[in-house]
Amino acid sequence: MRSRTGHRWSTLGLASLALLGCKTDPDQPDPDAPVAEMSLRRMADCDDLSMTIEDSVVELIAQSRYGYYGGRVYWENDGATDGGATPGSPTDYTTTNVQETGVDELDLVKTDGDYLYVAQDRGLQIVKSWPAADTELVAQLDLEGWAQGLFLVGDKLVVFSNVNDALTDVDGLPDKWFYGTRMSIVDVSDRAHPTIERSIDVAGYVADARLVDGKVYFVANQWMDVPSGTWELASRTDIGLPDYPAWDAPEADWNAALATARTVLRPYVHESLASLDLGAYLPQWRTDADQPFTSMYACSDIYVPAQETPLAMLAVGQLDPATGDLGSTGVMSQGWTVYASTRNLYVAQTSQWWWGWGGYDKSHIHKFALGGDAPTYLASGEVDGWLYDQFAMSEYNGDLRVVTTDLISWGPVMADGGGSTTDGGVAPAVDPTIASRVDAADAAEDTDVPPPPANNVFVLRDDTKGSLDVIGHVGGIAPNERVYAVRMLGDKGYVVTFRQTDPLFTLDLSDPTQPAVVGALLMPGYSAYLHPIDEDHLLAVGMSGLESGELTGLAINLFDVSDLAHPVLLDQHEISPGSGGSTWSYSEALWDHHAFTYGRDTLTIPAFTQSWDEGTQTWSGFSGAIAFHVSLTDGITENGRVDHQVLVDDSICLYDWWWGRDVGASDVGSYCDWDYGYWYAQVRRSVYVEDKLYTLSNYGVLVNELNDPSVQIAAVPFYPVSDL
């Protein structure tokens, strides 16, 4: 069994509920806190960058033969907003559901109450939305590529879309394809006649973006190409690479093979990369679609981690929609999990392990200051485990709180095991099945066997010298389960893990040096997103289930967390997809919180249900939006449903349009000839304007009464057959 160098496996006590995690003594160094020099290093010049790239390629090739992918197991341990616009405008409407107040997030719909602005699929639509009865499509622009989402900044939109262009004889990039992201600044001062002021193309895929104080911040990832023949070195048998050790050989034998391989590969990699043009190799951008591409950075503007790094480039950029000015900081790394406060942006890369070298079970986090001409790199840190999503990070009083799940083999742990529910929604002091696994971890301390993978809360502090230091840690939470949802609100936190039952753990984060688990609630199923509706209550969307661990369908949960030590489930509303036979239901809100809309005591989510009837041997289902009334006294009740099939019936086949086929009302051979019925009408988002419900699908917008969605007010198809 492989042990971690430099770590002492902590003992988990059994005296109280806090025994589910181990606390850090502020007066003593935490033996489990990761210690590493994580600060990024700025490149001195192009020679420095060339050597760094060479090091990375050598490591990738060596690891492909003798590392994780060499055939061995590397580690065997199995909200509503007051508007106030022009006279006659609505004064109350929902905006994008975001994590932090003052930090807008990229999404496919934005509104100012009077209009909806939609960027999805291959188009931009502007819908006049007030008065509700007069809702209509006033403008439509085709987009090159596929929309990722947009921001609304006054009378301008910033639309993100994925594009690819053939590049021929363009500044040293002949006969290549550009794969990247286009940011289009659109003037919508005249809503009926939007105009694209500027289109900025950036190499790479934008992982996420934020809008803070009128400026757009984005994080883009790009894989860095090298001559294809370079990778063939991994399979060469004529250059002196060592033989494979036996699959069960000691780790020292594998490390020795790696060391020899690095030495053997170095001159061959150096020769292969000798002709590499760094100017063309570095990430490219162009400030207008008809302009040539240029390098985003000089060699000396790029930062690299102190340890080995994937062969990729991370761009943390800033765009001012008012001026079109663009600035960016380059990091030779990857980063797919993005979190931002109003002051700082954090990028976490939890896939370092994917490449098979040191620290595959760790996450690296880089911090950038917002404002100025470009994001400014400040510090980096490292924590054990894997971050589930952006909610796994939260900044409070200058410190960064991070929730992780330990990794085993190919991904975050999820194993079978026992669990229990409780009467009245109150958890026992210690779940006996968890306690038994904690006992096993204690016993492992004496046998040098690591405890079972579990979950952690870290608190990191910027030391102002380039390092995010761990100042507080609680670990060992819910062994052999993984995180499904996190929400940290001020000095309190909530973590949902799942295996067979859903433990909702409550956290006291008031002392950053001693984060503590103080309560738990066990129930079948799990919650996937936690939403605060006031200081003492959480609303959640998740999946209901049986005590055996079997999931049964979509559910809405309402929690009382006024007593942090004793969280209570006030109500659960299960969405029944039908009777008889096999049934199922799910929602986009399970994995995208932007699909979760709450305001006026009403929750609306997209929902898909299907049911198989054994008697008739037929499927039935629903695809649309469901609205719920949420009451702290009466619980959760369904207001009604909105089905967009009426829009589908009167629209062209989007699949034909997307893929460039001839479209028509009776186009023979159309991709829409298959009778999928309710599959087509999937709602993506919902918006409230006053007491009206606006639901958005790929096919258009329906307007209904919020408190009685059965009453339809208006229908706006985006692609009606009548327009052909």
In tens, the pLDDT along 583-602 reads: 888 899 999 999 999 999 99
Query: What is the DSSP code (8-state) at residue 190?
Result: S
Give residue-wise pLDDT tens across range 677-700: 545 678 999 999 999 999 999 999
Q: What is the mean pLDDT of residues 179-200?
A: 94
216 phi-psi bin (left φ>0, alpha ψ -120 to 50, beta other): beta
SS3 annotation, 9-59:
CCCCCCCCHHHHCECCCCCCCCCCCCCCCCCCEECCCHHHHHHHHHHHHHH
- Map 360-405 to HEC letters: CCEEEEEEEECCCCCCEEEEEEEEECECCCHHHEEEECCEEEEEEE
% of the chain surpassing 90 pLDDT? 46
Do 299 and 249 fall within a single domain? no
The helix or strand, by DSSP H or E, that contains position 127, with its residue range, turns out to be strand 123-128
Model confidence band, residue 177 (pLDDT cutoffs 50, 70, 90):
low
Question: By the 8 A CB rule, do 196 and 124 touch?
Answer: no
Residue 631 lies in a domain: yes
Would you say residue 661 lies in a domain?
yes
Task: Report how far residue 413's alpha carbon sits from residue 407's, in angstroms, rounded to the nearest whole number.
Answer: 6
Q: Are 96 and 174 found together in one domain?
A: yes
Asked whether residue 270 is domain-assigned, the answer is yes
Q: Is 356 within a domain?
A: no
Is residue 334's pLDDT more than 70?
A: yes
| Same domain, residue pair 68 and 84 | no
**Does residue 721 share a domain with residue 612?**
yes
Are the C-beta atoms of 140 and 121 separated by less than 8 Å? no
Tens digits of residue pLDDT in 1-44: 233 222 222 222 222 333 333 333 333 334 344 434 567 888 88
Rounded Cα–Cα distance for residues 720 and 505 (Å):
49
Quick one: 207 and 235 in the same domain?
A: no
Kindly state whether residues 244 and 301 are assigned to the same domain: no
Residues 290, 151 within the same domain: yes
Q: Tell me: do 62 and 89 sit in the same domain.
A: no
Determine contact, residues 369/316, Cβ cutoff 8 Å: no
| 56 inside domain | yes
233/252 same-domain check: yes
- 602-637 pLDDT, tens per residue? 999 999 988 877 778 777 788 899 999 999 999 999
Position 513 pLDDT exceeds 60: yes
- Other CB atoms within 10 A of residue 505 CB: 27
Residue type, 654: L
pLDDT (0 to 100) of residue 302: 86
Domain check: are 110 and 165 in the same one? yes
How far is Cα 575 from Cα 606, in angstroms, rounded to an integer? 12
pLDDT reported for residue 673:
54
Residue 302 CA to residue 252 CA, distance in Å, equals 35
C-alpha closest to that of 688 among 614, 596, 612? 596
Domain that holds residue 627: 599-724
| Same domain (yes/no): 118, 177 | yes
Specify if 338 maps to a domain. no
Split into its structural domains, the chain has a count of 3
Q: Are 54 and 104 contained in the same domain?
A: no
* Cα–Cα distance for residue pair 481/484, rounded to 1 Å: 9
**Is residue 623 included in any domain, yes or no?**
yes
Is position 552 within any domain? Answer: no
Tokens 């990794």 locate to 407
